[in-house]
Chains A and B, each alone.
Chain A
Amino acid sequence: MPTRVIAGKTVEVDAEGFMVNPNEWNEAIAIELAKEEGIEELTPEHWKVINFCRQSAGATGKAPTLRTITAGTGISTKELFALFPKGPAKKVARIAGLGKPEGCV
């Protein structure tokens, strides 16, 4: 597995740049990964989503889908797209240090 340094910490990542081990994640990493995704500042709303996704992944072992996030946070799909443009489920999974959401194969 390749590694890279994010916010001063060496972490394992997969071929698509998703962190492999959620335990290596910290908030400084999230801030830096968010910048790479074009999100300059993480607002409380962003953190609400990130924290939900980490909790959900902790319980199920996988990054939640968009539908799980809207159901679990009460934040609408439309707002999620405003917070994490283009692909919210994928983007938040990457920022939250989780693997790529499985969705489909």
Chain B
Amino acid sequence: MKKIVILGAGTAGTIVANRFKRLLDFGRWEVTLVDPDPIHYYQPGFLFIPFRMYTPKDVIKPKRDFIDPPLRFIQSKVEEIDAEHRRVHLADGSVLPYDFLIIATGVDIYPEETPGMLDGEWGKTIHSFYTLPTSLALRDTLRSWKGGRLVVNVVDNPIKCPVAPLEFLMLADWYFHQQGMRDRVEIIYATPLSGAFTKPTASKLLGELLESKNIKVEPDFMIERVDPDARKIVSYDEREIEYDLLVTIPLNKGAEVIGKSGLGNELNLVPVDPHTLRAKAHPNIFVLGDASDAPASKAGATAHFSIDLFTEHFLDYVETGELPPYFDGHANCFIETGFGKGLMIDFNYTQEPLPGRYPLPGIGPLTLLQESEFNHWGKLMFHWMYWHILLRGMELPLPATMSMAGKWKV
């Protein structure tokens, strides 16, 4: 009996487990998922909660709904990964040996890494929206907020869902319009990047979109500390931005157990070959979803595309030890732009996002790097597809590798 242990039953862990369920002969294989949290969160939905577009019930379901026998599920914290002896130590002292280990522990926010962030104003004038409790706290603050200067700050990259801060800014613009108070709110985006986004074409087009919504970008802003009493953020090069309400995307790091087990870099991300997602140091460990140092977007779409390809090659790899460079870093994301519209981007390791149509070249119906109402409906429909198709390991009719057809240069 060969054993696969999957650490983390979030988006990546659940999808890969359900793929294994279809792929493997359970007379010869045993697949065990381990996760301390019994709840599965639809993380893209956190963005909508502060603006009361979603409620908590839209974003939580029991993990057990998606994990059935013959998959085994253990609800437990992981104490240590002993890669040398191929076993995982759980919090209750029990030990899980494995032949193959899948690390899918994702990344989480660490507000304590920025001095001043947790010093008395967290949940009051300093908020986030990257977890359910933080998005609910922000919703409650926004409900009674009288206006002033809203500053959105990304502490450092990489972050989970790199477009979420932009979506937050544009939804905030829309929300304050709806509340009849946009004229009393100044919106500033302080980012460590040199523009609205990483890659040139998207950065230019998204930058123009922000400008058209009267959202000011403060580029190259690398935060050193928050001064919660003076209500300002200070950068390493001593620029200061005052705020009335700070919405932060705190430092994103991988799980602490990764660092503790000696498997991670300085952000507790596991170094992998970006084209196979196999751990550089251990040929029987794969890192799926956000937990690796692969320079792909930390997003559900990336997890989904890479897992499609990973599971295609896994049995061959077990048989022959050979693994082709199957993954191109393909990602795509919906970007909510407010007022019932959205846009979409589609890209990979080497190809930056460009305008065009997706998934059918020339037709769409989704438009790339261009606002449309259909994109917004696409995002809302995706919510249903996530629970009913994606997590259950069923195929979506989308190619896992990026295509240049339907894209044009600007």
Query: CB within 8 Å of B: which residues of A?
Result: 15-16, 62, 65-68, 71, 77-78, 80-82, 85-87, 90, 102-105
How far is B349's CA from A36's CA once the two chains are assembled, in angstroms? 28
Taking a contact as CB atoms under 8 Å apart, the answer to whether A104 and B194 are in contact is no
How far is B157's CA from A16's CA once the two chains are assembled, in angstroms? 19
How far is B199's CA from A90's CA once the two chains are assembled, in angstroms? 14
Chain B residue at minimum C-beta to C-beta distance from A60: B271
Known: A81-B237, A103-B158, A105-B198. A86 touches B295 (CB 8 A): no
Contacts of A78 in B (CB 8 A): 224, 236
Taking a contact as CB atoms under 8 Å apart, the answer to whether B222 and A105 are in contact is no
Q: Does B12 contact A (CB under 8 A)?
A: no
Taking a contact as CB atoms under 8 Å apart, the answer to whether B162 and A104 are in contact is yes
Taking a contact as CB atoms under 8 Å apart, the answer to whether B266 and A103 are in contact is no
Chain B residues 128 to 169 lying within 8 A of chain A, measured CB to CB, are 156-159, 162
Contacts of A105 in B (CB 8 A): 162, 198-199, 295-297, 329, 331, 347, 349
Chain A residue at minimum C-beta to C-beta distance from B236: A81
Q: Does B62 contact A (CB under 8 A)?
A: no
Contacts of A82 in B (CB 8 A): 237
Known: A15-B200, A103-B157, A103-B158. A87 touches B194 (CB 8 A): yes
Taking a contact as CB atoms under 8 Å apart, the answer to whether B266 and A67 are in contact is yes
Chain B CB within 10 Å, residue with most, of A65, A82, A103, A104: A104
How far is B251's CA from A39's CA once the two chains are assembled, in angstroms? 29
Taking a contact as CB atoms under 8 Å apart, the answer to whether B222 and A81 are in contact is yes
Taking a contact as CB atoms under 8 Å apart, the answer to whether A16 and B237 are in contact is no
Task: Give the shortest distance, in Å, between A53 (CB) and chain B (any CB).
Answer: 15
Contacts of A86 in B (CB 8 A): 220, 237
Contacts of A16 in B (CB 8 A): 200
Q: Does B267 contact A (CB under 8 A)?
A: yes
Known: A85-B237, A103-B198, A105-B347. A77 touches B162 (CB 8 A): no
Chain B CB within 10 Å, residue with most, of A16, A90, A102: A102
How far is B176's CA from A86's CA once the two chains are assembled, in angstroms? 32
How far is B203's CA from A105's CA once the two chains are assembled, in angstroms? 11
How far is B86's CA from A37's CA once the two chains are assembled, in angstroms? 49
Contacts of A102 in B (CB 8 A): 295
Contacts of A77 in B (CB 8 A): 222, 224, 236
Beta-carbon contacts of B93-123 to A below 8 Å, as 1s and 0s? 0000000000000000000000000000000
16 A–B contact pairs at CB < 8 A?
A15-B200, A16-B200, A67-B267, A68-B265, A77-B222, A82-B237, A87-B222, A102-B295, A103-B157, A103-B158, A104-B295, A104-B297, A105-B198, A105-B199, A105-B296, A105-B331
